[in-house]
C-alpha cells in the first residue's frame, strides 16, 4: 500500500499526479480519431442477368425494370441500384445491417423466381450472389498448358478448380474469363432463304425444336427393363 502511504504523507505530490492524469486524459480524448462513417460491410445482394444480343435499352425495359419491381418489396432494403448495358443487366441491393444476408438472398431468389415468366425466352436465368458484382477482384490467376488446347484447359478449370476455390473460406465468387466453350456456327444462304420465303428466325426456331433429347418411356418384361430416350441433340 505504498501508493496510499505516499499520498497521505505528500498530498501535494498526489494532487499533482492526479492533475497530470486528467490533463493527459483530456489531450488523448481530443486527439482520438472519430469516423463519421465506420468501415462496415453491409449485406449486399447482386443479381446478374445475361441477354445476348440485346441493346442496353431493351435490357433496361425487358429485364432490369421487371426485376426491380419484384425485388423492391423485399423487407430491409436500404438502397437499390442497377445498370443496364448491351447484353447484361446488373442489380445491386443493399440491406440494413440488421438484415441477415442469407435470409435476404433467399427472399430475393423467391421474388425473382416469380418473375421468370415475364422475362424474354432468350435471356439466361438471373444469377443471385451475396456480393457486389462491380467490386474489384482480389486475385487473378492465369493458366497455360503445352499439352491441353484452350478448350480442354477451360473445361479442366471449370470442372476441377472453380469448385475448389469456391470452397475456400473468405472466397465470395470465382469467375472464368476468356474461357472457351464448344459451339457450332451455321452459315446461311440468303438467296436460298429468300427463295423459300424463310427468315433467320425460322431457322432458329427449327433448330430449337429439333435439338432436344426427351425421355420416351421404358420397356418392361419379366426379366429386363429398358429405358428409352430420343437422342436428337446435334453433334455436327
Task: Tell me the pLDDT band of 199, cut-offs 50, 70 and 90.
Answer: very high
Task: Tell me the pLDDT band of 13, cut-offs 50, 70 and 90.
Answer: confident
The per-residue pLDDT for 188 is 93
d(CA 181, CA 150): 9
- Residue 40, pLDDT > 80, answer no
Please give the C-alpha separations between residue 235 and each of 113, 154, 182, 185, 232, in angstroms, as whole numbers.
32, 20, 10, 12, 9
d(CA 207, CA 109): 31
The per-residue pLDDT for 196 is 93
* DSSP letter for each residue of 134-186: TSPPS-------SSS-HHHHHHHIIIIIHHHHHTSTT-------S--------
pLDDT tens sequence across 117-147: 888 888 888 888 877 655 666 788 888 888 8
Task: Tell me the pLDDT band of 209, cut-offs 50, 70 and 90.
Answer: confident
Q: What is the mean pLDDT of residues 67-81?
A: 87
Max intra-chain CA distance, the chain: 117
d(CA 174, CA 230): 36
- Residue 64, pLDDT > 60, answer yes
pTM of the model: 0.57
Please give the C-alpha separations between residue 88 and each of 45, 177, 180, 191, in angstroms, as whole numbers.
17, 15, 19, 34
**Residue 9 is placed in which grid cell?**
504523507
- Residue 198, pLDDT > 90, answer yes
pLDDT tens sequence across 14-32: 888 889 899 888 888 888 7
d(CA 202, CA 193): 10
Query: What mean pLDDT, rounded, does the chain reach?
Result: 84
The per-residue pLDDT for 118 is 87
The per-residue pLDDT for 136 is 64
Dihedrals phi, psi of 109, to nearest 5 degrees: -60, -40
The per-residue pLDDT for 39 is 63
The per-residue pLDDT for 134 is 59
The more confident residue out of 190 and 7 is 190
- What SS3 class is residue 227? strand
Amino acid at each position: 500500500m505504498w501508493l496510499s502511504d505516499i499520498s497521505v504523507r505528500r498530498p501535494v505530490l498526489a494532487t499533482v499526479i492526479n492533475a497530470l492524469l486528467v490533463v493527459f486524459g483530456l489531450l488523448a480524448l481530443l486527439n482520438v480519431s472519430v469516423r463519421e462513417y465506420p468501415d462496415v460491410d453491409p449485406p449486399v445482394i447482386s443479381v446478374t442477368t445475361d441477354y445476348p444480343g440485346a441493346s442496353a435499352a431493351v435490357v433496361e425495359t425487358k429485364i432490369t425494370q421487371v426485376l426491380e419491381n419484384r425485388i423492391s418489396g423485399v423487407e430491409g432494403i436500404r438502397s437499390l441500384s442497377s445498370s443496364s448495358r448491351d447484353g447484361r443487366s446488373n442489380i445491386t441491393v443493399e440491406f440494413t445491417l440488421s438484415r441477415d444476408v442469407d435470409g435476404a438472398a433467399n427472399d430475393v431468389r423467391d421474388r425473382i423466381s416469380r418473375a421468370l415468366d415475364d422475362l424474354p425466352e432468350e435471356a439466361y436465368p438471373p444469377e443471385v450472389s451475396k456480393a457486389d458484382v462491380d467490386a474489384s477482384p482480389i486475385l487473378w490467376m492465369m493458366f497455360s498448358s503445352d499439352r491441353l488446347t484452350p478448350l480442354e484447359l477451360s473445361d479442366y478449370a471449370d470442372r476441377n478448380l472453380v469448385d475448389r476455390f469456391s470452397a475456400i473460406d473468405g472466397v465470395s465468387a470465382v469467375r472464368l474469363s476468356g474461357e472457351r466453350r464448344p459451339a457450332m456456327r451455321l452459315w446461311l444462304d440468303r438467296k436460298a432463304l429468300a427463295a423459300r420465303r424463310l427468315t433467320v428466325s425460322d431457322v432458329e426456331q427449327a433448330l430449337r425444336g429439333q435439338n432436344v433429347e426427351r425421355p420416351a418411356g421404358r420397356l418392361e418384361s419379366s426379366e429386363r427393363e429398358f429405358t428409352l430416350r430420343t437422342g436428337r441433340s446435334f453433334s455436327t
